[in-house]
Structure 1
Amino acid sequence: MILESILAFLHLSAIFALIVFSTSEAALCRSEWMNARIVERLVRVDRIYWIALIAIVLTGLARVVWGIKGAGWYWTNWLLHLKITATLVVIALSLRPTLRFRRWQGALQSGGTLPAEAEVTQVRKMVMVNTHIVPLIPLAAVFLARGFGGR
């Protein structure tokens, strides 16, 4: 029971961290605010975002393997597969903004160039789409934890 509680706490903490840092990226990624400090901050925030995303995956797997319900119960539940799919979509959608932030940082360090307004707007839209998908994962988790979707 203690292990289950600790794993749930760590998993939820990682989800909350992901939401905080995803929202921070969306707030910072605005063309009217873009400057050298914002580019550097976006890269740092994005690193923490990825740490949270990796923590979500690892703690989620730990809950499946060592959780009270057991791996057999989880793997037969379609809601777990929905969560995994949504998480993979979030990971895939997160790659492009990450690469752009790093490219912006490289351009800034090599020549002092800031990204174009259109590119910042495009990246912000990608971050916003991702930010709106993330809450669906804990929604599925709530139903999963209460036994929905099982056979």
Structure 2
Amino acid sequence: MLESVIRYCHFLGIFVLFAVLVAEHLLIKRRLTAEEIHRLARLDALYGVSAVVVLLAGLGLWFWVGKPAAFYSANPVFHAKLTLFVIVAALSVFPTVFFLKHRRTTRESVPVPPIILIAIRLEMLLLLIIPLLAVLMARGVGLG
């Protein structure tokens, strides 16, 4: 039962993470008002919480419940999946820093650097690849 709960938390975290990222993408513009930045900063905080849930549940599945850790550790597809997750996390730093820096702005509007939109779009693209890698891994692709 514990494995099911952890797996459910992992999936729920993934769904929330992607949904929030799509919402950020839909809400971001070339210029943002203080209210829009505040809204995006709150969404980005939820994105961070969901990423932590995904990470912790994933570590639980890897080391604590389910298949032995060696099943995952020896699989290059799993390593590719982890690498993409780390790249997504690194890309998320750009929007997070921007939203935190400007969340208390008193200016009428703030210009959004193009790198913010690029980072969000790259995150979405890479997140679309991770489930494919998970399916391949579950099918044994990458094991000897």
TM-score by length of 1: 0.88
After superposition, residues 49-60 of structure 1 pair within 5 angstroms as 49-60=47-58
After superposition, residues 61-100 of structure 1 pair within 5 angstroms as 61-100=59-98
SS in 2 for 1:67: coil
Q: For each residue in 1:29-63, what CA deviation from the matched residue of structure 2 results, as whole angstroms up to 9, or x when unmatched?
A: 1136x222111000000000011111111111100
| Matched residues, number | 144
Q: For each residue in 1:47-86, what CA deviation from the matched residue of structure 2 results, as whole angstroms up to 9, or x when unmatched?
A: 0001111111111110011232110111111111111100
TM superposition shift of 1:125: 2.1
Higher strand share: 2
Q: State the Cα RMSD in Å.
A: 1.5
1:133 and 2:126 aligned: yes
Moved over 6 A (4+): none
Percent identical residues: 29
Query: In structure 2, what is the equivalent of residue 143 of structure 1?
Result: 136
C-alpha contact 1:94 1:127 (8 A) present in aligned 2 = yes
Which runs of 5 or more structure 1 residues have no equivalent in the other structure? none
Q: What is the identity, as a one-letter code, of the residue corresponding to 1:64? A: W
C-alpha contact 1:104 1:114 (8 A) present in aligned 2 = no
Higher helix share: 1
Q: Whole-Å Cα distance in 1 between the matches of residues 83 and 38 of structure 2? A: 31
TM superposition shift of 1:113: 4.7
Q: What is the identity, as a one-letter code, of the residue corresponding to 1:86? A: L
After superposition, residues 103-118 of structure 1 pair within 5 angstroms as 103-106=101-104, 108=105, 111-116=106-111
Which runs of 5 or more structure 2 residues have no equivalent in the other structure? none
Q: What is the identity, as a one-letter code, of the residue corresponding to 1:78? A: P
1:30 and 2:29 aligned: yes
Q: What is the identity, as a one-letter code, of the residue corresponding to 2:41? A: V
TM superposition shift of 1:130: 1.1
